[in-house]
Structure 1
Amino acid sequence: MVVNQFRPSLLAEPLAQEKLAGMKILVVGSSGIIGSAVANALSERGQDIVEVTHSGEGLTVDLSDIASLKELYDKIGKLDAVVCAAGVAQFGPLEELSDDDFTQSIENKLMGQVNLVRCGIGQVTEGGSFTLTSGGLSQKPAAATTAVSMVGAAVEAFVKGAAIDLEGRYRVNVVSPGWVAESRIQIGLGPMPGIWARDLAEYYIDLVEGLQTGQIVQAETAKPDGIP
């Protein structure tokens, strides 16, 4: 685990402590491997979870459509925190990636999360937080991951800048997961080296319920017992 602490939060600790339980938290991507683990873990801690998916029954949203994001916030009303565990970016060798591949990656994984924060200002109660998701490829690219690495790194840069602009009002952080064990199994690999989604969820909990802002939290392995 590596934590890149960019700036400490200036939010008052008593305010954060008052909201350690019973917070109304939007989890975007709640049907996915990571999102479902995060939603379940927060719910077990007494938080009021609003689950949102891309399609299906219940609340849905299209991250690439800012009108869809605004409509979602209007439906939900006031929130205490937002977690995004969604976002699509295209894999493929650079010479095979089309303009559409890059556009889709930018509009969904990058601008979807950027606009989730922008549209959430005023909808999330001041003193609340936004926790986004990038990915290990943002800092450790591999073959055929140019678009994925690019937008993930941009999400991390956005978080550092937004944390400054929103300091004292909102906290903004990002989790950068490594290989998720369940995802490895889905594509026919062994679960390790990877991190189980239930262990990954602990990093999101720390950011939602903590005081930090402007942090890029690399989550490649489970946290050692007793380490906050």
Structure 2
Amino acid sequence: MKIIVIGATGTIGSAVVALLEKEHEVVRASRNGPVRVDMDDPASIDALFERVRDVDAVVCCAASGALTPLDGDGDFTAAIQGKLFGQVHLLRRALRHLRDGGSVTLTSGVFDRPMAGASFGALVNAGLEAFVTAAVIEMPRGLRVNAVGPGWVAETLEAMGLDGADGVPAVDVARAYVDAVEGDHQGAVLRPKRGT
């Protein structure tokens, strides 16, 4: 298959690319790479599909959002724009460009327990997962849509100076994305686990 991986230079994206490249042609897309895309900019998503054609699958690992205190002055709408609306726009555009039977895999997320600053992230993740399960009935030409909802990634925790054992290694997270692309899931939210 020919697969676009958005966020290919990030922790999760790099692991996804490494696994998919063993069997497929992977086009690496990111904000700063040779194939550029910015999930905050719908025009760049359109430009991506104009540049990269005849695609079988799109995997988005680029969506993220910072922890934002409920009563803070931070821009909580940033996650809504990039992570939620950006991925919704990505799916809508991909419908016109994917080969029959292709797939789109988006990224939501999950917090194992409530934590300060996570309320807006939880809102965005829940919205995205509801969107994926509802969009299934409108997918044309045998196209599929799924999401991967990773919790904390071990390497991210370690980079923050925390215990990586509390997270899932990026390679295990990446396997969930590969399963979404190569399997027959439709409207599913896959939750990566350590050692799977």
Aligned to 1:123: 97
> What amino acid is aligned across from residue 36 of structure 1 in structure 2?
S
1:140 CA displacement: 4.7
SS of the residue 2:104 aligns to: strand
Give the counterpart of 1:217 among 181, 185, 190.
190
Structure 2 counterpart of 1:192: 165
User: How far, CA to CA, are the matches of 1:128 and 1:181 in structure 2?
Assistant: 30
1:168: Cα distance to partner?
5.3
Residue in structure 1 matched with residue 180 of structure 2 by the alignment: 207
Q: Provide the rounded CA distance (Å) in 1 between the counterparts of 2:73 and 2:58.
A: 32
Q: What is aligned with 1:53?
A: 30
Asked if 1 retains the 8 angstrom alpha-carbon contact of 2:95 and 2:140, the reply is no
Partners of 2:89 and 2:123 in 1: how far apart?
A: 18
**Cα separation, partners in 2 of 1:131 and 1:140, compared to 1, 3 Å:** farther
- Give the Cα–Cα distance (whole angstroms) in 1 for the partners of residues 113 and 84 of structure 2: 18
Q: Report deviation, 1:179.
A: 1.3
The structure 2 residue matched to 1:170, chosen from 125, 131, 143, is 143
Q: Measure, in 2, the Cα distance between the counterparts of 1:43 and 1:204.
A: 13
- For 1:179 and 1:106, the matched residues in 2 are separated by 20
The residue correspondences of 1:100-179 to structure 2 (distance < 5 A) are: 101-137=75-111, 140-166=113-139, 169-179=142-152
The TM-score normalised by the length of structure 1 is: 0.82
C-alpha distance in 2 between matches for 1:197 and 1:90: 19
Write the distance in 2 (CA, Å) between the matches of 1:149 and 1:209: 28
Aligned to 1:16: none
User: Once the 2 structures are TM-superposed, how far is the Cα of residue 167 of structure 1 from its aligned partner?
Assistant: 5.9
Amino acid aligned to 1:35: G
Letter in 1 for 2:191: Q
Structure 2 unaligned blocks of 5 or more: none
Higher RCO structure (Cα 8 Å, ≥6 apart): 1
> Alignment partner of 2:165: what SS?
coil
State, as a whole percentage, how many aligned pairs show the same letter. Answer: 40
**Distance apart, 1:90 and its partner CA:** 2.9
Contact 2:68–2:76 under 8 Å retained in 1: no
Unaligned ranges ≥5, structure 1: 1-22, 224-228
Letter in 2 for 1:148: G
8 Å CA contact retained: 1:87, 1:108? yes
Structure 1 residue ranges (4+ consecutive) displaced by more than 4 angstroms after TM superposition? none
- Output one character per residue of 1:18-59: Cα deviation in whole Å (capped at 9) or x when no partner: xxxxx0000000000000000110001x2000000112x311
Name the residue aligned to 1:82. 58
Question: 2:114, 2:13 → 1: CA distance?
Answer: 23
Match of 1:29 in 2: 7
State the distance in 2 between where 1:221 and 1:176 align: 13
Q: What is the number of residues matched between the two proteins? A: 196
Amino acid at match of 1:38: V
TM-align CA RMSD: 1.4
- State the partner residue of 1:13: none
